[in-house]
């Protein structure tokens, strides 16, 4: 194979507005619009994300016990995260403390979700840019191209371990894609010793695959100067924002349970809050050109799409989590975390990593952690106990938070005395990141598009800024034309379309 | 040996016409077709690949939006019709065609020899609702008939030429 295609030749465009439009469907897809000025430089860029309409109305008046299976329909990609957040919200609504066994089973299930989600993102979505190169033609720059380059046996390992993640979810959660097992104070299904042993064997294999993935990331990305130049490009992929993520009582990263920690641009803790305090910390900004709200830190305030200490924009997801924590509770993930910190230190970074592309590295470290934690839990023979449900009380109002693979996910319900839902509010991971994604897209577009010179490779490098965040831009829909993707539209100052690029 | 057939309804059952595949699958379950497995898949991409492995024939029912299409109309499509959309540069997830192409590359022996898509033109893919729009719902029996007949044709062709 020839080396990855890092650059292609830009041609001068006469247009002043560029749109990157996802090809999911003919309508309702996400879209990046880039506006050029008279000199052909980027004046502004926006990311528009479609929202499902009427979900709140759909839920009001239903029994809150239905919400874990309704909210998980919001997404065909991360239903398990919604199911977990919803189940934890019911714990709060019914003032129910889950039993020790139930907590372990929920977390085990959730590590299966992380394993499958992070494998899919790294190999199917991120790897094409790093194996084939950002400027490789779109028809080649995909998961099939990756398999061609790395070989079918590795491709088969990818599929196998992703399926293991699914299988663990299926064993614990009852169903792989849309789980049904979460109840206030517990879970509905006990597992057998045979199932436990089966999960232990799969988890062992996933730990090895995590090691393999970290090595591959080092070989492919960290060992390649061209990619390091892209990753360290401060003009295109670098934002000094606040970060948010869940930690345990020792400030180690945790995906299932804990408090939410926010750090500033230097890594100093700004606040650590319980789920039910989220409204004291987060406010939402509204822009006229999109339905989706943009959360920001209330105390800092909204300053527009800019980074820095005076802008309340924060980032969530793998980069957010790695920046708010002091490490991981499992040995291999902790070891790689130390490599990550040392590499950053050698680059002169002492606080958080502000390099947007570091999302990818954080994600593979998290894959290792999820696999190790899955093995710890699946090796624990006490998880087959029948102690899977605890008592619960009269319903009221409650908040539940988990770390979805793509970031902090907040559910908040209120119930009347009969258990009927009277209020529902959700802030999903991509919403938490929405302001940051917009800022990143604008930054990358400004740095990469100059003097009206555009090319497919350059536009893909703009998309790469967006792809780091693993955004879920159309929760819940997946019609045949689908396979979410993006279209970039470049527009002149008068708004007319100069050029359009779709990755389909 | 009998043809191992799977009917897979794909879609989100609480997103109006996005769930048409699920509605058709449920209608077909009531018809008790011998030797045919019927599944609902409220997901896509790689999950779909997990579902189809090990079958000889798979019929996938899903929604589609084409320019100028009339809601409720449906089309029979094959894998090759999606070649144009095989790509992986999407921000999130991979599409059905890419997933199938990946399966043919990685596990060719376990892939179905035939995959048929029944794509139903949708009117509403945005509003949260458990119901189809009237135009799509009106065509539901006809779509289910079409799938049932397609299976019968495949089985009978197979018996003639096993």
Q: Where are the alpha helices (DSSP H) in A39-151?
A: 55-59, 67-71, 79-93, 100-119, 127-131, 143-150
Q: How far is A56 from chain B (nearest CA, A)?
A: 9
**Is A116 a member of any domain?**
no
Q: Which residues of B touch A501 (CB under 8 A)?
A: none
User: What pLDDT band is residue B97 in, cutting at 50, 70 and 90?
Assistant: confident
Partner B, chain A 484-503, Cβ-Cβ below 8 Å: 484-486, 503
- Chain B touched by A286 (CB under 8 Å): no
Query: According to the model, what pLDDT value does residue A136 have?
Result: 87
Paired strand residues for A11: A454
Q: Determine contact: A291 vs chain B, CB below 8 A.
A: no
Q: Which pLDDT tens digit goes with each residue over A28-55?
A: 356 788 999 989 899 999 887 766 778 8
Using the CB atoms, write b or e for A219-257: b if 16+ within 10 Å. ebbeebeebeebbebeebbbbbbbbbbbbeeebbbbbbb
Pairing between β-strand A487-491 and β-strand A31-36 as defined by DSSP bridges: parallel
What is the band of A497 on the pLDDT scale with cuts at 50, 70, 90?
A: confident
Helix, strand, or coil (residue A103): helix
Whether A284 is covered by a domain: the verdict is: yes
Q: Six-digit token pair at A339? A: 């490599």
Domain boundary, last residue among A301, A328, A354: A354
B87 pLDDT above the threshold of 60: no
CA distance A203 to chain B (A): 19
CA dihedral sign, ordered B112, B114, B120, B125:
positive
CA A51 from chain centre, in angstroms, equals: 17
Contact B92 A473 (CB under 8 A): yes
ipTM of the complex: 0.84
Residue A98 lies in a domain: no
B91-A443-A428-A396 Cα dihedral, nearest 10 degrees: 180
Mean pLDDT (whole number) for A19-28: 37
Question: Which pLDDT tens digit goes with each residue over A92-130?
Answer: 999 999 999 999 999 999 999 999 999 988 998 889 899
With CA atoms as reference, report the closest residue to B65 among B107, B126, B23, B114. B126
Binary contact (A27, B95; C-beta < 8 A): no
pLDDT band of B84, cuts 50, 70, 90: low
For residue A456, give Cα distances in angstroms to A235, A414, A490, A493, A499: 20, 48, 12, 21, 11
Provide the token pair at A212.
């393999």
Closest A-chain CA to B122 = A479
Tell me whether residue A370 is in a domain: no
pLDDT of residue B35: 87
Residues in chain B with CB shorter than 8 Å from the CB of A120 are 45-46, 93
Contact between A504 and A26 under an 8 Å Cβ cutoff? The reply is: no
Domains defined along chain B, listed by start: 5-160 (3.40.50.1450)
Check CB contact of A144 with chain B, cutoff 8 Å.
yes
Output the CA–CA distances (angstroms, integers) from residue A233 to A57, A139, A357, A358, in the order listed: 45, 26, 9, 11
Structure tokens at B1: 């040996």
In-domain check, residue A334: yes
**A54–B128 CB contact, under 8 Å:** yes
Indicate whether A495 pLDDT > 90.
no
B63 min Cα distance to partner chain A (Å): 5
Q: Does B133 touch chain A (CB under 8 A)?
A: no
Q: Looking at the complex, does the CB of residue B113 fall below 8 Å from at least one CB of chain A?
A: no
Distance from the Cα of residue B59 to its chain's centroid = 5
Name beta bridge partners: A490.
A18, A499
Check pLDDT > 80 for residue B130. Answer: yes
A 10 A CB-CB count for A163 gives: 21
- Distance (Å) from the C-alpha of residue A52 to the closest C-alpha of chain B? 5
Yes or no: say if A376 and A331 are a contact pair by the CB < 8 Å rule. no
Q: At what angle do helices A358-379 and A100-119 cross, to 10 degrees?
A: 140
Q: Does B79 touch chain A (CB under 8 A)?
A: no
Q: Which of A71-75, A418-422, B70-74, B96-100 has the lowest mean pLDDT?
A: A71-75
Separation CA B155–CA B126 (nearest Å): 37
**For residue A52, what is the nearest residue in chain B, using CA coordinates?**
B126
Residue B62 token pair: 């899903």
Taking CA–CA distances from A148, the nearest residue in chain B reads B105
* Chain B touched by A504 (CB under 8 Å): yes
> Which segment, A49-58, A71-80, B104-113, is predicted with the most confidence on average?
B104-113
At A478 the pLDDT is 38
Give the nearest chain B residue to A26 (CA atoms).
B65
Q: Do A477 and B91 touch (CB under 8 A)?
A: no
pLDDT reported for residue A179: 83
| Residues above pLDDT 70, as percent of chain A | 90
Which of these three, A354, A385, A417, is where a domain ends? A354
Tokens of A46: 């926006």
A104 neighbors A383 (Cβ within 8 angstroms): yes
Q: What is the mean pLDDT of residues B142-152?
A: 95
Q: How high is the pLDDT of residue A110? A: 97
Residue B153, burial from CB neighbour count under 10 angstroms (0-12, 13-18, 19+): exposed
In chain B the first and final C-alpha atoms are separated, in Å, by 8
Q: Which residues contact A108 (CB under 8 A, 6 or more apart)?
A: A168, A172, A199, A374, A377, A378, A383
**In 3D, which of A408, A439, A427, A498 has the Cα closest to residue A20?**
A498
Half-sphere exposure of A2 (CA within 13 A, CB side): 5
Domain endpoint, select from A320, A354, A388: A354
Between CA A462 and CA A448 the distance in angstroms is 8
Cβ contact B99:B49 at 8 Å: yes
pLDDT of residue A18 exceeding 70:
no
State how far the Cα of A417 lies from the Cα of A395, in Å rounded to an integer.
Answer: 6
Q: Is A460 on the interface with B (CB under 8 A)?
A: yes
Q: Does the structure show a pLDDT above 50 at A470?
A: yes
For an interface test with A, which of B90, B98, B121 has the most A Cβ atoms less than 10 Å from its Cβ?
Answer: B90
Q: Which of B79, B84, B155 is nearest to B114 (CA)?
A: B79
Q: List the structure tokens of A371.
A: 């696999």
Tens of pLDDT along A164-214?
A: 999 999 999 987 667 889 999 999 999 999 999 999 999 999 999 999 999
SS3 for A3? coil
Number of structural domains chain A divides into: 2
- Residue A21 in any domain: the answer is yes
Chain B contact probe: residue of A57, A483, A484, A501 with most B CBs at under 10 A:
A483
pLDDT at A479 over 70: no
Is B54 near chain A, with CB under 8 Å?
Answer: no
Confidence of residue B48 (pLDDT cuts 50, 70, 90): confident
pLDDT of residue A502: 59
Mean pLDDT of chain A: 89
Using the Cβ of A77 and the Cβ atoms of chain B, whether some distance falls under 8 Å is answered with yes
CA angle A72, A75, A78 (to 5 degrees): 80
Measure CB to CB from residue B96 to each of A463, A471, A483 and give the nearest one. Answer: A483
| No. of helices (H) and no. of strands (E), chain B | 5, 5
Distance of CA B24 to the CA centre of its chain: 10
The stretch A425-453 carries a mean pLDDT of 93
Section A393-420 average pLDDT: 96
Lowest model confidence (mean pLDDT) among A24-38, A201-215, A258-272, A446-460: A24-38
Q: Are A415 and A93 in contact (CB under 8 A)?
A: yes
Comparing A55-59, A242-246, A433-437, B142-146, which segment has the lowest mean pLDDT?
A55-59
Residues on chain B touching A176 (C-beta within 8 angstroms): 47, 50
Strand partners, A48: A31
Burial of A303 (0-12, 13-18, 19+ CB in 10 A): middle
Percent of chain A with pLDDT over 90: 68
The answer to whether residue A97 sits within a structural domain is: no
Answer whether residue A456 shows pLDDT above 90. no
E strand residue ranges, A330-405: 397-404
Residue A261: per-residue pLDDT: 98
Q: For residue A77, which phi and psi values (nearest 5 degrees)?
A: -105, -45
The rounded distance, in Å, linking the Cα atoms of A215 and A223 is 10
Q: What per-residue confidence (pLDDT) applies to A223? A: 93
Top pLDDT among A10 and B20 is at B20
Q: How far is A360 from chain B (nearest CA, A)?
A: 13
Q: Compare CB distances from A177 to B42, B66, B98 and report the shortest one's residue.
A: B42
Give the separation between CA A398 and CA A21, rounded to whole angstroms: 38
Chain B partners within 8 Å of A170 (Cβ): none
Alpha-carbon gap, residue A111 to A256, rounded angstroms: 9
> Distance (Å, rounded) from C-alpha A350 to C-alpha B55?
54
Tell me if chain B has a CB within 8 Å of the CB of A165: no
Query: What's the rounded Cα separation, in Å, for the pair B52 and B59?
Result: 10
pLDDT at A504: 40
Question: Which residue in A138, A481, A483 is closest to B45 by CB distance?
Answer: A483
User: Residue B13: which of A22, A73, A486 has the nearest Cβ?
Assistant: A73
Cβ atoms of A468 and A231 closer than 8 Å: no
Beta-carbon contacts of B35 under 8 Å, excluding residues fewer than 6 positions away, are B2, B3, B5, B155
Q: Given this model, what pLDDT does residue B72 score?
A: 94
Residue A369 falls within a domain, yes or no?
Answer: no
Band of pLDDT at residue A485, cut at 50, 70 and 90 = very low
The H-or-E segment that residue A497 falls in is strand A497-502
Q: A282 is in which domain, residue-wise?
A: 242-354
Confidence band of A292 (pLDDT split at 50, 70, 90) = confident
The reply to whether the predicted model has a pTM over 0.80 is yes
Whether pLDDT at A465 is above 50: yes
The average pLDDT across B6-17 equals 89
Contact at CB, B14 and A70, closer than 8 angstroms: yes
């Amino acid at each position: 194979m020839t080396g990855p295609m890092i650059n292609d030749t830009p041609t001068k465009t006469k247009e002043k507005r560029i749109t990157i439009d996802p090809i999911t469907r003919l309508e309702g897809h996400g879209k990046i619009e880039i506006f050029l000025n008279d000199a052909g430089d980027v004046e502004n860029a926006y990311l528009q994300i479609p929202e499902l309409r009427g979900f709140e109305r759909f839920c009001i008046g239903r029994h809150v016990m239905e919400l874990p299976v309704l909210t998980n329909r919001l997404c065909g990609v991360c239903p398990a995260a919604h199911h977990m957040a919803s189940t934890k919200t019911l714990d709060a609504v019914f003032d129910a403390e889950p039993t020790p066994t139930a907590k372990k089973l929920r977390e085990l299930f959730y590590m299966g979700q992380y394993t499958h989600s992070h494998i899919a993102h790294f190999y199917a979505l991120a790897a094409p840019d790093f194996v084939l190169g950002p400027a490789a033609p779109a028809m080649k720059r995909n998961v099939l191209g990756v398999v061609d380059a790395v070989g079918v046996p590795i491709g088969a390992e990818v599929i196998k371990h992703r399926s293991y993640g699914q299988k663990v979810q299926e064993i614990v959660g009852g169903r792989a894609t849309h789980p049904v097992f979460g109840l206030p104070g517990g879970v509905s299904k006990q597992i057998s010793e045979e199932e436990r042993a089966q999960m232990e064997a799969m988890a062992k294999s996933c730990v090895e695959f995590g090691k393999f993935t970290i090595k591959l990331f080092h070989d492919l990305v960290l060992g390649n100067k061209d990619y390091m130049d892209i990753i360290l490009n401060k003009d295109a992929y670098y934002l000094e924002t606040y970060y948010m993520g869940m930690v345990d009582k020792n400030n180690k990263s945790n995906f299932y349970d804990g408090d939410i920690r926010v750090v500033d641009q230097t890594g100093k803790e700004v606040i650590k809050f319980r789920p039910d305090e989220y409204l004291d910390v987060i406010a939402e900004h509204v822009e006229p050109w999109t339905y989706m709200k943009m959360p920001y830190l209330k105390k800092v305030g909204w300053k527009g799409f800019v980074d820095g200490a005076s802008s309340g924009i924060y980032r969530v997801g793998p980069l957010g989590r790695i920046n708010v924590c002091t490490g991981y509770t499992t040995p291999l993930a902790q070891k790689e975390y130390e490599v990550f910190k040392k590499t950053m230190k050698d680059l002169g970074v002492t606080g958080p990593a502000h390099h947007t592309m570091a999302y990818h590295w954080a994600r593979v470290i998290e894959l290792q952690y999820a696999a190790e934690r899955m093995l710890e839990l699946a090796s624990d023979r006490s998880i087959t106990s029948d102690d899977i449900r605890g008592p619960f009380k009269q319903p009221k109002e409650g908040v539940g938070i988990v770390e979805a693979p793509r970031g902090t996910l907040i559910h908040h319900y209120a119930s009347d005395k009969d258990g009927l839902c009277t209020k529902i509010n959700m802030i999903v991971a991509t919403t938490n990141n929405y302001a940051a994604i917009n800022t990143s897209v604008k930054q990358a577009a400004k740095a990469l598009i100059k003097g009206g010179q555009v090319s497919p490779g350059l536009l893909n490098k703009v998309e790469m800024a967006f792809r780091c965040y693993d955004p879920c831009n159309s929760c819940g829909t997946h019609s045949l034309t689908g396979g979410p993707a993006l279209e970039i539209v470049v527009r002149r100052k008068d708004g007319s379309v100069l050029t359009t690029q779709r990755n389909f | 040996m009998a043809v191992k057939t799977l009917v897979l309804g794909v879609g989100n059952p609480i997103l109006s016409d996005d769930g048409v595949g699920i509605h058709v699958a449920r209608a077909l379950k009531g018809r008790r077709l011998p030797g045919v497995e019927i599944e609902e898949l409220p997901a896509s991409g790689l999950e779909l690949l997990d579902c189809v492995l090990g079958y000889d024939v798979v019929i996938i029912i899903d929604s589609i939006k084409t320019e100028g299409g009339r809601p409720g109309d449906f089309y029979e499509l094959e894998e090759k019709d999606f070649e144009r959309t095989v790509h992986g540069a999407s921000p999130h997830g991979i599409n059905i065609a890419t997933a199938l192409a990946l399966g043919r590359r990685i596990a060719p022996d376990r892939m179905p020899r035939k995959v048929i898509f029944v794509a139903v033109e949708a009117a509403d893919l945005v509003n949260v609702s458990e119901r189809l729009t009237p135009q799509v719902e009106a065509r539901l029996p006809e779509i289910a008939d079409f799938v049932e007949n397609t299976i019968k044709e495949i089985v009978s062709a197979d018996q003639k030429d096993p």
